[in-house]
A and B are shown apart, each in its own frame.
Chain A
Amino acid sequence: SQKIEQNSEALNIQEGKTATLTCNYTNYSPAYLQWYRQDPGRGPVFLLLIRENEKEKRKERLKVTFDTTLKQSLFHITASQPADSATYLCALGGRALTFGSGTRLQVQP
């Protein structure tokens, strides 16, 4: 069955540093991979989508890479801020999404 792995341990970094989150998947060949942000008690908010034929996608301080050979996506937040503290979810697919369990990011001032 399809499996998505995100680091369940929280990632703690200092303000101004680059945060890097990992999403690994097995038994799946997604045409699309999406990243969402979720704050406590709220619904997920879409951040970025990357297609299987794209290696990298950027949006402001965010960067996503997609390696279909390694079956891995990396999500980077540069110049991180305390306001970036949240849980970040990786999701495979374009429509009926399969989500990972998310990684909690804590940015310390």
Chain B
Amino acid sequence: NAGVTQTPKFRILKIGQSMTLQCTQDMNHNYMYWYRQDPGMGLKLIYYSVGAGITDKGEVPNGYNVSRSTTEDFPLRLELAAPSQTSVYFCASSYSGAEGGSTYEQYFGPGTRLTVT
């Protein structure tokens, strides 16, 4: 199992450009998440998904969009990039099953370091 993979590892964007951060997991997890981490700070939740076709906003969703068409993939779209979106972005996944079969531990990808100039 590769776990959670993210691409690209690094990206520099100009203000106003758009891009999609890719996230894939091969653990058949139904929950997936996007967080951002600014230097010296904790992670802040951007969006999350409880399964294919279902997404919900987290603490800091403005400026981002997500979709979940498959169990495996959860891309994060940045429209009209701004310097405030300079951060490290982490994708994570977790599993929720029938009673007693859920685990709450989240598995994180290696992150995408994004700079907007």
Contacts and interface: CB of A to CB of B under 8 A. Distances in A.
A79 interface: no
Interface string A41-60: 11111100100000000000
A89 B48 contact: no
B38 to A, nearest CB: 10
B4 to A, nearest CB: 8
Contacts of B94: 95
B39 to A, nearest CB: 10
A43 B58 contact: no
Interface in A28-46: 32, 34, 41-46
Nearest to B48: A96
Contacts of B45: 96-98
Contacts, number: 56
Interface of A: 4, 8, 32, 34, 41-46, 49, 89, 91, 94-102
B104 A32 contact: yes
Contact of B107 (A42, A46, A49): A46
Interface in B84-104: 90, 92, 94, 96, 104
A45 B104 contact: no
B110 A94 contact: no
A100 B41 CA distance: 8
B74 interface: no
Contact of A49 (B4, B41, B59, B105): B105
B108 A44 contact: yes
A95 B90 CA distance: 15
Contacts of A46: 105-107
Nearest to A45: B108
B111 interface: yes
B53 interface: no
Interface in B53-89: 56, 58-59
Contact of A101 (B42, B59, B109, B111): B42
B109 to A, nearest CB: 6
